[in-house]
């Protein structure tokens, strides 16, 4: 059996910025949320203003760490494993509302000072929308990355079509499991050194081999799609909000305009050029630059507010 505690080593061709990001020290923290252990990674100065990164469906905290790490010099940064994902516990039932409670609990347990900015990708973007609406006094801002609120999210569609996540598999070695790592949806380009890192943290040892960490019951319970649950919360968001849409992702210009209208016509919508749906896997530096630009602007600018009843 491979040593699960062994430190990950990046691929030899990984660029210097990526190696530096993986060198940032994270604290493993576990917080109980309604009887389920929720795992998170926390880095940066404790008590500082903070950022919470929320992964997509079937993913985990390490999808974000190489993008989140550069913020640790200024912010207290938390990357959370939602229940049913990563190193968090599994539940008998899942809900978007429960996940929003986990995001808020992770921010508190991670040592963030004041309401954080929550940043979510894909399904995690839907959770971010719900968190901003349900916990308005505990969220300072929200950034959603290629989360198509008006269509069924791809993880759910893949489960229904039996294209992915449908049949549990066990692999003899971690290396074999990582070789079979795929994203849903697939995209044209990936960075091998990022994919290797993410895949490494996607599996866990079990009797007789290795298995993916996520709980397939998540997708069984959301067979109708999470969009119908997230959409009502969109118009209830009152904090600063931004939408990042990937050029080759799932948020089309029409969907971007729809979300802009639903958010009261006060939300910036940015396109990430050349990025697929999983921008952290193919264009992480563009994604990092967009996040840095937004956060820097929010430091000194006054937000446009939605008109009452608008």
- How many structural domains are present in the chain? 1
pLDDT of residue 257: 87
Q: Is the pLDDT of residue 238 over 70?
A: yes
Using pLDDT thresholds of 50, 70 and 90, give the confidence band for residue 163: low
Answer whether residue 159 is part of any domain: no
Q: Is 242 left (phi over 0), alpha (psi -120 to 50) or beta?
A: beta
Position 151 pLDDT exceeds 60:
no
Of 21-35, 202-216, 257-271, where does mean pLDDT reach its minimum?
257-271
State the average pLDDT over residues 262-289: 93
For residue 187, being part of any structural domain is answered with no
State the average pLDDT for the chain: 90
Please say if the pLDDT value at position 161 is more than 90. Answer: no
Distance CA 115, CA 4 (A): 35
Q: Is residue 171 part of a domain?
A: no
User: What tens digit of pLDDT does each residue of 24-43 get?
Assistant: 999 999 999 999 999 999 99
198 and 37 in contact (C-beta within 8 Å)? Answer: no
φ, ψ of residue 183 to 5 degrees: the values are -105, 155
Instruction: List the domain range (segments joined by +) for residue 137.
Output: 28-150+227-300
Instruction: Let me know if 217 is exposed, middle or buried by CB neighbors in 10 A (0-12, 13-18, 19+).
Output: middle
Is position 1 within any domain? Answer: no
Q: Which long-range contacts (CB under 8 A, 24 or more apart) does 268-271 make?
A: 268/242, 268/243, 268/294, 269/242, 269/243, 269/245, 270/242, 270/243, 270/244, 270/245, 270/294, 271/244, 271/245, 271/246, 271/247
Burial class (CB in 10 A: 0-12, 13-18, 19+), 167: exposed
Give the model's pLDDT for residue 134: 97
- Whether 23 is covered by a domain: the verdict is no
pLDDT of residue 148 exceeding 80, the answer is yes
Instruction: Give a yes or no: residue 172 inside a domain.
Output: no
CATH code at position 50? 3.40.50.1820
Assess if residue 306 is contained within a domain.
Answer: no
In a domain, 177, yes or no: no
pLDDT-derived band at 157 (thresholds 50, 70, 90) equals: low
């Amino acid at each position: 059996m491979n040593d699960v505690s062994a430190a990950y080593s990046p691929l030899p061709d990984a660029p210097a910025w990526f190696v530096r990001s993986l060198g940032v020290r994270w604290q493993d923290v576990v917080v109980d949320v309604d009887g389920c252990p929720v795992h998170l990674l926390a880095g940066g100065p404790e008590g500082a203003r903070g950022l919470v990164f929320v992964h997509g469906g079937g993913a985990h905290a390490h999808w974000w760490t190489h993008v989140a790490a550069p913020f640790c010099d200024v912010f207290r940064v938390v990357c959370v494993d939602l229940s049913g994902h990563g190193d968090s516990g599994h539940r008998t039932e899942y809900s978007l509302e429960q996940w929003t409670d986990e995001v808020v609990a992770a921010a508190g347990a991670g040592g963030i000072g004041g309401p954080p900015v929550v940043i979510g990708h894909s399904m995690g973007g839907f959770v971010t929308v719900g968190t901003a609406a349900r916990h308005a006094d505990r969220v300072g801002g929200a950034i959603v990355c290629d989360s198509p609120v008006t269509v069924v999210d791809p993880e759910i569609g893949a489960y229904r079509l039996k294209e992915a996540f449908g049949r549990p598999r066990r692999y003899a070695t971690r290396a074999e499991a990582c070789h079979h790592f795929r994203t849903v949806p697939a995209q044209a380009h990936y960075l091998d050194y990022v994919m290797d890192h993410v895949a490494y943290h996607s599996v866990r040892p079990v009797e007789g081999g290795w298995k993916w960490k996520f709980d397939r019951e998540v997708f069984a319970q959301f067979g109708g799609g999470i969009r119908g649950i997230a959409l009502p919360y969109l118009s209830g968001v009152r904090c600063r909000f931004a939408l990042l849409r990937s050029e080759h992702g799932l948020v089309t210009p029409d969907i971007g305009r729809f979300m802009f209208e639903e958010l009261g016509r006060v939300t910036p919508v940015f396109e990430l050029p050349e990025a697929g749906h999983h921008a952290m896997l193919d264009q992480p530096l563009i994604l990092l630059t967009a996040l840095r630009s937004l956060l820097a602007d929010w430091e000194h600018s006054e937000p446009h507010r939605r008109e009452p009843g608008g």
